[in-house]
Structure 1
């Protein structure tokens, strides 16, 4: 996993963490450091379908076989189809689905859409503990990966649950959540603007009658697992003396789908990020990666923390 750190600290990745913290370098550095420590301990890239297949039996979370009009991956979630009681198992499956969706993103994409179907949902469908942990993982370990979260046909009783959940969400995440109702023409426009209706599942107002097929989905996930394993192995065998210097500029800020800093955050003139390769970091255990802003170097990663 250490060999993958340079990729995790890539230009695009650092940019996401900076945007998530409104371009505050120190906060972004702390966030990235904690995320890397989590990945070293949790090892999300090693989770395989056979480890979580029992969690997927009801189709409570799966990657759709269609994209939105912007070419972004779509994760379908049905919290009313919860079939297990282990919070650890549920979170592990969520992480697996996130890793799989990210792995399948097009080269020019870094975000995904969540379609949350409330069919069969009751107050007993989801625990507060799992909801809090889901928000924590999404916001702290996968920052700026969510483009839009659509809550489709939530029942009226969900309003009470939403009041409890909302404090767990950061303002930027909260603004990405949209409520859509099948009997509301105005909210349905969100779906027609976002999806090709012939591809969208009928459960979300589309014209595609196909639903979740566990056997077909299992085969697709096993194929992806093989690709993921090959990718991880190739990264671990990669030898590089020094990665090139990355820079996060205002041009990149403008090119991201939601990259404009909020009005109360200052946009940096330039943020340069220098990332050492895994081998060099091993040879120099006391070295630091830095984010340099306006000529001032700030510590980003102390490799001793990952020993």
Structure 2
């Protein structure tokens, strides 16, 4: 064999041996890939665990800060209003959270609430006999719990007619007291569906809406979990533009307008069908607030 052909044969042999692999080698490569995937999964699990631990530590730190501020705020309240001794820690915490844990602002808000309560609800509760005209509208109901265990409230705005503002404010207070009394143990918030079907100018009550907002935000802070506004007609937006500036930053984040075509599917994201009111394709009949 000539030297030229010997060199060509050797080069070809080397190339063949380096480019081909045995079945065993292919299997080994497959094993290596699986191991790499396994390591990637382990890494993702470790990341998730680290994130959970981080969030848990943040929650613990926040709880410690809140407990400390609750003690300070309670002591301050007692020096200014002895009746505050009857307040539980959860109530003080709600007022603190409503004011971003600012003790001065939260204390001022809570003292204002205590003063309002003594004057506006001197008997400790609003009697149905004080609000006959509002109850006659049959416009506010309760039924069921959402997926977080929050009571569901339904308000039919098309049934509201502007009347006596003072009676309406008492009706709002009566309703919020009823809602809070119905909350399961450990729950502090409720969910509301504001249904504006058939709402028109005769139902428009900007003064009443602003008064209700003021009571909710200043006297029952951190009670609203979410507000769904459904079947809103175009003409409602005129009133909405007047109300919107009076809604605080925290409350605005809890409001959702739902399109009619997506209404049921969106509600089912938060509420099981077994807990959804019948009027929205669920299983439960609505109960008037006065009967709750």
Q: TM-score, normalised by structure 1?
A: 0.63
Q: Is 1:195 aligned to residue 274 of structure 2? A: no
1:206 pairs with one of 281, 286, 290: 281
Q: Which has the higher contact order (CA 8 A, sep 6+)?
A: 1
Gaps of 5+ in 1: 222-307
Inter-partner Cα distance in structure 1 for 2:82 and 2:270? 37
Counterparts of 1:52 and 1:4, CA distance in 2: 27
Q: Distance in 2 between matches of 1:161 and 1:145?
A: 24
Q: Is the 8 A contact 1:180 1:188 kept in 2?
A: no
| 2:159 is the counterpart of 1:81 | yes
* Partners of 2:186 and 2:209 in 1: CA distance: 30
The answer to whether the Cα contact below 8 Å between 1:60 and 1:77 also exists between their aligned partners in 2 is yes
Residue 235 of structure 2: aligned partner:
157
2:97–2:222 contact (8 Å) kept in structure 1 = yes
> Is residue 2:126 matched to residue 1:47?
yes
The corresponding residue for 1:137 is 215
Structure that is richer in helix per residue: 2
SS in 1 for 2:237: helix
- On the 8 A contact 1:66/1:73 being kept in 2, the answer is yes
State the superposition RMSD in angstroms: 2.2
- Residue from 56, 59, 62 that aligns with 2:135: 56
**Match status 1:170 vs 2:245:** no
- Residue 5 (structure 1) aligned with residue 81 (structure 2): no
Q: Deviations over 1:244-275 (max 9, x none)?
A: xxxxxxxxxxxxxxxxxxxxxxxxxxxxxxxx
2:149–2:184 Cα contact (<8 Å) kept: yes
Alignment partners' CA distance in 2, 1:23 and 1:118: 35
Task: Give, in whole Å, the separation in 1 of the partners of 2:151 and 2:237.
Answer: 28
C-alpha change, 1:20 and 1:211, in structure 2 (3 Å) is closer
Deviation at 1:111? Answer: 0.7
Classify the secondary structure of the residue corresponding to 1:16: helix
Whose strand proportion is higher, 1 or 2?
Answer: 1
Q: Secondary structure at the match of 2:186?
A: coil
Whole-Å Cα distance in 1 between the matches of residues 108 and 177 of structure 2? Answer: 22
Structure 2 counterparts to residues 197-236 of structure 1, below 5 A: 197-203=273-279, 205-208=280-283, 210-211=285-286, 218=290, 220-221=291-292
How far is the alpha carbon of 1:84 from its aligned partner? 5.5
Q: In structure 2, what is the Cα distance between the partners aligned to 1:155 and 1:25?
A: 41
SS in structure 2 of the partner of residue 124 of structure 1: helix
CA distance in 2 between counterparts of 1:119 and 1:173 reads 23
Classify the secondary structure of the residue corresponding to 1:66: strand
Distance across 2 between alignment mates of 1:92 and 1:171: 25
**Structure whose alpha-carbon radius of gyration is higher:** 2
Deviating more after overlay: 191-200 vs 90-99: 191-200
